[in-house]
Structure 1
Amino acid sequence: MNTHVNGEPRVTATDAALDLIAEIRQDYPEILFHQSGGCCDGSSPMCYPADDFIIGDHDVKLGEIGGVPVYISGSQFEAWKHTQLIIDVVPGRGGMFSLDNGREKRFLSRSRIFGGGEACTIPRVR
């Protein structure tokens, strides 16, 4: 599986995001992220206990941040395959079912476009 493009990871995290991940893992040691393309909460990176979320046949693993896997829906990957996702943290409430909810800070996806034809296809998770 190619989780890097020209040596750069498809997903990365800010120090603030890594700190929040560490905080959440004190309560939930095994977690994962899923970035979907839905409306409302689904447009933010959602953080779930690993055993509470079923990875779909069409989901794509982008990589890991802080030892935590990050997935994206296949259709959303097709739209974002030219970008590097940067998971960050901002003040506010997390998504209703996301583990950042109630911590007065929430995860936020930022992105940057890979340049020079770096984008390529990643096999789907099975």
Structure 2
Amino acid sequence: MPVTIDKEMVTATPAALDLIREIQRDHPDILFHQSGGCCDGSSPMCYPADDFIVGDSDVLLGHIGGVPFYIGAAQYEVWKQSELLIDVVEGRGGMFSLDNGREKRFLVRSRVCSLP
């Protein structure tokens, strides 16, 4: 069972919410996962909910557009003092992410905040 924190730490721009709705027309039940690393691992990835196994060490940061947004435990430790804003930019999504092939992709913007 993933870890859940008390305060939602993730929000989305109107463009991101639009892309989520677009994806949900093809895949109604989705989730996001943010991991650390290079290449696709540094972008928020959008998966069909039944195609991704959420790990016991993953952290549920909150929901955007009603969709759960998880982050790997190691990446959470790096970003735990940040608020994440999910946005959309032109370009190709991650190879396995559902935004791939739509000529726009999700992007994380962050700002440091003071959390209890």
- Cα deviation digits, residues 51-76 of structure 1 (max 9, x gap): 00000111000000000000000010
Q: How big is the alpha-carbon RMSD for the aligned residues of Structure 1 and Structure 2?
A: 1.0
Q: Which sections of structure 2, spanning at least 5 residues, go unmatched?
A: none
Report the AA paired with residue 12 of structure 2. Answer: A
1:2 counterpart = 2:1 = no
Is 2:26 the counterpart of 1:23? no
**Total equivalences in the alignment:** 113
Query: 1:17 aligns to what SS in structure 2?
Result: helix
Q: Is the 8 A contact 2:46 2:97 kept in 1?
A: yes
Give the TM-score taking structure 2 as reference length: 0.94
- Summarize deviations over 1:85-124 as a string: whole Å, max 9, x none: 1000000000000000000000000001113xx15xxxxx
Which structure has the greater CA radius of gyration? 1
Task: Give the corresponding residue for 1:44.
Answer: 43
Deviation at 1:39, TM superposition (A): 1.1
**Other structure's SS at 1:71 match:** strand
In the superposition, the TM-score normalised over structure 1's length comes to 0.87
What corresponds to 1:123 in structure 2?
A: none
SS of equivalent to 2:23: helix
Return 5+ residue gaps in structure 1 as ranges.
120-126
